[in-house]
Amino acid sequence: MKTRVFVVVFAALLGLQQCGRSDRADKPIIALVLKTLNNPFFMDMQEGAQAAAARLGVDLIVQAPEREVDVEKQMQIIENLIQRKVSAICVAPSGSKEIVPAILKANQARIPVIVIDTRVDRKAQTESGAVVLSFIGSDNKDGGRIAGEFVSEKLGGTGEVAILEGIPGHETGDARLLGFHEALAEQKGITIVASQTANWERDQGFNVFRNILQAHPHVKAIFACNDMMALGAVEAIAAVDKKGDIIVVGFDAIKDSRAAIVNGDMQASIAQHPEEMGRLAVETALKALHGENVPSDIPVKIELVTKTKLDKLTSH
């Protein structure tokens, strides 16, 4: 019911928006605001959006903070885009709650907002009255569950496990953690001995997991909530000469992690197709600007990537 209310309210706002922009050039300007452009996951998302923009004949502005943790910078970027009077804003929020005031400002400026990859905090959104036209992304909880089931199977139901978390309180990381924990809940022989944040970053993944290995030398598996942290863990494992002794599972299935899986440095990652998210974001924004109805929730498929799967792809 709440989603319907949001859509009805936004339809009215969008109608005003179309009237208020009659003096603009015919070519719409769509802004894509990412968490960072230093992560291959978001670079792939950018490429998908750029390809769609070129095909559809729209101007695309892509901006992002230098670091994923820089929520304030992302807010500033959105406020500047509102001042520039872009036609629509597509954003992958760095903070699920923090993004809400910026969305509300875009609503007030009659700029439609499409959220990608990370959901906005529902409570904060409801309380503020902010309107998100559509969410495009994967089921992160399901991805965490898939990762947990893979780890459990590889361990044979017994062993010590560590986790590298994303930013605390961030919807994406929290959902992946929840799914992973639920998958291991009934595995009485598996113990999670450490669960610490590495803030989505590779160098922090290395440092944090190196410290975990010193405190828990018998860890047999590591689940990292994104591939950048997983690749940092791979480096920490190599530094103590334990390659092949510890199962490493990441999330995003970026190019470097796929190479690590082929080489045996990682065992799996969860793919969620960021280029598809970028494409859908631009297409959905343009449909909205043309007055078409768009779904409030657009799912993007998610899947486990292993060496077996990659070998099959390269053999065809």
DSSP string, 208-245: HHHHHHHH-TTEEEEEESSHHHHHHHHHHHHHTT-TTT
Q: How many domains does the chain have?
A: 2
Assess whether 189 and 267 both reside in one domain.
Answer: yes
Q: How confident is the model at residue 186 (pLDDT cuts 50, 70, 90)?
A: confident
> Mind listing the pLDDT tens digit for each residue in 128-179?
999 999 999 999 999 999 999 999 999 999 999 999 999 888 888 999 999 9
Assess whether 207 and 121 both reside in one domain.
Answer: no
Enter the tokens of residue 75: 């807010």
**b/e for 278-288, b at 16 or more Cβ within 10 A?**
bbbbbbbbbbb
Looking at the predicted structure, is the pLDDT value of residue 316 above 70? no
Assess whether 12 and 130 both reside in one domain.
Answer: yes
Q: Residue 38: which domain range? A: 2-137+274-299
Q: Dihedral through CA 138, CA 140, CA 141, CA 145, nearest 10? A: 100
Q: Return phi, psi of residue 8, to 5°.
A: -65, -45
Query: For position 169, which CATH number holds?
Result: 3.40.50.2300
Assess whether 129 and 223 both reside in one domain.
Answer: no
Give the strand pairing for 59-63 and 88-91: unpaired
Looking at the predicted structure, is the pLDDT value of residue 19 above 80? no
Assess whether 116 and 33 both reside in one domain.
Answer: yes
Q: Looking at the domain assignment, is residue 95 inside a domain?
A: yes
Assess whether 126 and 27 both reside in one domain.
Answer: yes
Assess whether 260 and 144 both reside in one domain.
Answer: yes
Can you tell me the distance from the alpha carbon of 23 to that of 37, in angstroms, rounded to the nearest whole number?
A: 33
Q: Is the dihedral of CA 275, 277, 280, 286 positive or negative?
A: negative
Assess whether 181 and 197 both reside in one domain.
Answer: yes
Assess whether 62 and 87 both reside in one domain.
Answer: yes
Assess whether 11 and 132 both reside in one domain.
Answer: yes
Can you tell me the distance from the alpha carbon of 313 to that of 316, in angstroms, rounded to the nearest whole number?
A: 6
Assess whether 84 and 164 both reside in one domain.
Answer: no
